[in-house]
Amino acid sequence: MPKVASAASSSGRRHSPVASSSHVRATSKASDSDTQSSASSSSSKEPRIPARIEHAWKVNNDIRNLFVGKEYTEEQWRKVEKYMRAQFKFKDVPTDAQIRASKCGDYFYGFYMSEQDIMNFAKRYNTKRGPTPTMTADDMYFIGYALSLVMDGWRDIKLARVVISAKHKEAKPKIVEEVGQPAYIVKILSTDDYADGFSLTNREISEIAHVLGKRPCWWESYE
């Protein structure tokens, strides 16, 4: 199981909108940047990191920019930065018995997304999206691609289908699917990942929660 760093005080919570919106929006221009990076790397013996990833890393490491307008002392800033870079403390992790009894032997940690949510995300951030009135495969790809840039090391983020439980339905009234039906989530982590010792930072969870306007939880895998 991952070793979880102790969290700092509540001074590490986000208090204001951050640059995440412009950060995610910039992904729609990624193809142009990648083309330039590829052209440069072809004439160099040293491998180059794609421009979009370099930009994401710079944004992700600028913790103070996540709290625009806050006037903290240097000591307070150090506490905020320590907290945001610390490992996220997962709660209510499924037990081995729950995992064995589940439909597919796995649980995912992530954010619920209706088809409307997925389409709205693409409409807001993907400047190249057409006028299609329903969710498309491109919309599904785009949300995973864009949110991957928020992760340290550009960790792959994808949509996954999960089972809606009565507990989910009660806790999240906006879920449109009925209990027992499959639904989409932005999958951040699986119980297999967790068992292997992989974890996430408070910054990663906080950034994605801010962009999506949602809170994550554990979900039983549907497939």
3-state secondary structure of 103: coil
Instruction: Please state the separation of Cα 166 from the chain's center in Å.
Output: 24
- Rounded percentage of the chain residues whose pLDDT exceeds 90: 64
d(CA 135, CA 67): 33
Q: How confident is the model at residue 26 (pLDDT cuts 50, 70, 90)?
A: very low
Residue 24 pLDDT? 54
Q: How confident is the model at residue 160 (pLDDT cuts 50, 70, 90)?
A: very high
Quick one: DSSP state of residue 108?
A: E
Examine the pLDDT at 113 and tell me if it is beyond 70: yes
Q: What are the structure tokens assigned to 215, written together?
A: 């809170």
d(CA 179, CA 13): 33
* Plot region of 153 (φ>0 → left; ψ -120 to 50 → alpha; else → beta): left
Examine the pLDDT at 40 and tell me if it is beyond 70: no
pTM: 0.78
Whether 6 contacts 86, CB under 8 Å: yes
Q: How confident is the model at residue 11 (pLDDT cuts 50, 70, 90)?
A: very low
Mean of all residue pLDDT scores within the chain: 82
